[in-house]
């Protein structure tokens, strides 16, 4: 028996011909490009069926494979921006009976208080941060993050990080510690400007354009005291309203941020700051991938004023406003749910002097369309007091243009307090609406005007639309009401016109709002 022929190497088995690549060589090329291990290369099968390519094309494939970039991370960006990010440490006099939150919660916007309890407030005793006692007062040591915006030591952080601070220190990325001075704060946007003496600090730039949903984002900060921490994620959403203030316009990101990240920057892939980390949503207290940033354009506007004046002044027209819902638009005969509905103009305000009334819908400012109530607040708030503006208003079904001079937004915001009411047993049942009503003048504490809600059926339409005991109905379908019978007549009139909803102006505490109730089956 003759011996089997010795196996030939691939080079000998296939003659070298220009323009011919075996599947074996293609497999090796693909594996190399993909970066797989040697075992995968050895396992690649060899077929004797050649693939024919023009010689130039085969050479081009090889050259392209050589040019493919290696996997790229964020190291270059981090190396560029990380030196500008600082850790911020503050000492706050917690008073004789401190809770350890490290700031005055009364000055924090109500919608953010729960967020700050979980995330942003400087963590003091008894939450694990070091604290000192002296003179009968608790001195709380808290910490957050920030970043330099100029070489001469101006830096941005959150208002709630430095508010009420007795002293502020910053620690830079190279481990140096500096004393810092608070230049100015703005509680409404939760921004603060601080200053460190010096002239050669590394700094970063605020982005000139808004990020897109899905863009990469890097968060750098001081979570749990671990300075210089970098996390990555994407922009999850924009224009988030979390109930913090009338100026909410948060960027939502999923890059993990935690306690101590507050005031730190989030960067795009060009190394520009797209936002300032301010709050997270977290049932557990830790990151669950939902964080909120103050947008760079807001930061620019606020920081400019803080640097020049130490505070922020905003235009003010003096109205309580609310969104135009689909039901409200239907009640007012509007084609689309857009604009800002005036619940009530304040006495002596620029709006009242210009002739704006409860029930008006503000549709444009200086010819620029108003999308909703928040959009109106942002537009007016971005203007300066004493500026002349023209408001497009829908009043009693007619479009008007009203001119007014902006006032200055007061420093304190009056919070609404829900009235308790008093069900004295003299109420009149409003049937399927689920309301029991009585003249306000007959109910202690309800005032002299309108009809007070003395009872709410939890299964009725009124409960679904936010009615509560103690609310006072001032108007129904644009008409003032003084008795439950006035309410009933107004509803009957609306139904006779074939409308499906009735618009009521309702007072809750010191504020009033419009509510559209369905009356088809009332």
Cross-strand pairs, 92:
140, 165
CB of 356 closer than 8 Å to CB of 393: yes
Element of type H or E holding 111: helix 110-118
Give Cα 221 distance to the centre of its chain: 19
Residue 105: pLDDT over 50: no
403 is known as an active-site residue:
no
236 is known as an active-site residue:
no
- Tokens 């006032």 correspond to what residue? 407
Q: What is the pLDDT of residues 164-218, one digit of tens each?
A: 889 999 999 999 999 999 999 998 899 999 999 988 999 999 999 999 999 999 9
Question: DSSP secondary-structure letter at 346?
Answer: P
pLDDT given at position 462: 82
Q: What is the mean pLDDT of residues 129-158?
A: 76
Q: Band the pLDDT of 330: cuts 50, 70, 90.
A: confident
pLDDT given at position 225: 87
Q: What is the pLDDT of residues 35-57, one digit of tens each?
A: 333 333 333 344 444 555 566 66
Burial of residue 31 (CB within 10 Å: 0-12, 13-18, 19+) is: middle
pLDDT given at position 325: 83
Of 167, 190, 189, 162, the closest CA to residue 177 belongs to: 167
pLDDT given at position 515: 87
Q: pTM here?
A: 0.62
Contact partners, residue 342, CB within 8 Å, separation at least 6: 319, 320, 321, 351, 356, 357, 358, 359, 360, 361, 362
pLDDT given at position 112: 53
Domains with residue ranges and CATH for the chain: 12-67 (no CATH), 72-312 (2.40.10.120), 315-408 (2.30.42.10), 428-518 (2.30.42.10)
CB of 434 closer than 8 Å to CB of 454: no
Residue 106: pLDDT over 90: no
Element of type H or E holding 185: strand 177-186
Contact partners, residue 369, CB within 8 Å, separation at least 6: 338, 363
The span from the CA of 9 to the CA of 19, in Å, is 20
Question: Which has the minimum average pLDDT: 80-84, 97-101, 113-117?
Answer: 97-101
Residue 423: pLDDT over 50: no
Residue in 87, 236, 262, 282 annotated catalytic: 262
Question: Which has the minimum average pLDDT: 24-28, 172-176, 240-244, 489-493?
Answer: 24-28
Q: Band the pLDDT of 485: cuts 50, 70, 90.
A: confident
Q: Band the pLDDT of 22: cuts 50, 70, 90.
A: very low
Residue in 123, 186, 190, 249 annotated catalytic: 190
Percent of the chain with pLDDT over 70: 71
Category of 271 on φ-ψ map: left (φ > 0), alpha (ψ -120 to 50) or beta: left
Percent of the chain with pLDDT over 90: 37
Question: Which has the minimum average pLDDT: 209-218, 424-433, 512-521?
Answer: 424-433
Phi, psi for 456 (deg, rounded to 5)? -130, 125
| Cis amide leading into 21 (omega within 30) | no
The span from the CA of 13 to the CA of 452, in Å, is 98
Residue 461: pLDDT over 90: no
Q: Band the pLDDT of 431: cuts 50, 70, 90.
A: low
pLDDT given at position 404: 93
Q: What is the pLDDT of residues 223-275, one digit of tens each?
A: 988 889 999 999 999 988 776 666 778 999 999 999 899 999 999 999 999 99
150 is known as an active-site residue:
no
Average pLDDT, the chain: 77
Q: What is the mean pLDDT of residues 283-295?
A: 85
CB of 472 closer than 8 Å to CB of 440: yes
Kindly give the interhelix angle for 55-67 and 23-34, rounded to the nearest 10 degrees. Answer: 20
Q: Band the pLDDT of 69: cuts 50, 70, 90.
A: low
Residue in 87, 123, 160, 245 annotated catalytic: 160
CA angle, 107 then 278 then 206, to 5°: 115
């Amino acid at each position: 028996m003759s011996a089997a022929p010795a196996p030939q190497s691939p080079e000998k088995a296939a003659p070298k011909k220009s323009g011919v690549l075996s599947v074996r060589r293609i497999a090796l090329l693909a594996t190399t490009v993909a970066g797989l291990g040697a075992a995968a290369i050895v396992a690649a099968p060899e077929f004797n069926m050649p693939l024919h390519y023009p010689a130039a094309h085969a050479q081009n494939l090889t050259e392209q494979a050589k040019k493919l970039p290696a996997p790229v991370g964020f190291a270059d960006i981090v190396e560029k921006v990380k030196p500008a990010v600082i850790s911020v440490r503050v000492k706050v006099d917690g008073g004789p009976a401190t809770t350890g939150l490290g700031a005055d919660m009364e000055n924090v916007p109500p919608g953010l208080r729960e967020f700050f309890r979980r995330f942003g407030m400087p963590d003091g005793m008894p939450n694990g941060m070091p604290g000192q006692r002296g003179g009968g007062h608790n001195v709380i040591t808290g910490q957050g993050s920030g970043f330099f915006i100029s070489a001469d030591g101006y830096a941005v952080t959150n208002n709630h990080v430095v508010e009420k601070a007795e002293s502020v220190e910053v620690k830079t990325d190279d481990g140096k510690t500096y004393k810092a001075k608070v230049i100015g704060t703005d509680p409404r946007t939760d921004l603060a400007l601080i200053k460190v003496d010096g002239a050669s600090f590394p700094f970063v730039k605020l982005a000139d354009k808004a990020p897109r949903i899905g863009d990469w984002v890097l968060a750098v900060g001081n979570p749990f005291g671990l300075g210089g921490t970098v996390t990555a994620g994407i922009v999850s959403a924009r224009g988030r309203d979390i109930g913090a203030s009338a100026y909410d316009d948060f960027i939502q990101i999923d890059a993990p941020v935690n306690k101590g990240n507050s005031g730190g920057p989030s960067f795009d892939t060009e190394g520009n700051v797209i936002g300032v980390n301010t709050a997270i949503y977290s049932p557990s207290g830790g990151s669950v991938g939902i964080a909120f940033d103050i947008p760079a354009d807001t930061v620019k506007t606020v920081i400019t004023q803080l640097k020049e004046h130490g505070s922020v002044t905003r235009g003010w027209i003096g109205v309580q406003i609310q969104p135009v819902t689909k039901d409200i638009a239907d009640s007012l005969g509007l084609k689309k749910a857009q604009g800002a509905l005036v619940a009530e103009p304040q006495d002596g305000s620029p709006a009242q002097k210009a002739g704006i009334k409860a029930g008006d819908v503000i549709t444009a400012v200086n010819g620029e369309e108003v999308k909703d109530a928040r959009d109106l607040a942002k537009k007016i708030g971005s203007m300066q007091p004493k500026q002349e503006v023209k408001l497009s208003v829908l009043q009693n079904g007619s479009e008007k243009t009203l001119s007014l001079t902006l006032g200055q937004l007061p420093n304190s915001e009056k919070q609404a307090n829900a009235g308790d009411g008093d069900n004295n047993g003299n109420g009149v049942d409003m049937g399927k609406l689920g309301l029991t009503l009585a003249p306000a003048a007959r109910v202690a504490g309800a005032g002299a005007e309108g009809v007070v809600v003395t009872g709410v059926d939890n299964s009725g339409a009124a409960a679904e639309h936010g009615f509560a005991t103690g609310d006072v109905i001032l108007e129904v379908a644009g008409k003032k009401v003084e008795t439950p019978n006035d309410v009933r007549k107004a509803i009957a009139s609306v139904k006779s016109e074939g409308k499906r909803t009735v618009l009521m102006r309702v007072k809750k505490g010191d504020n009033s709002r419009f509510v559209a109730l369905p009356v088809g089956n009332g």
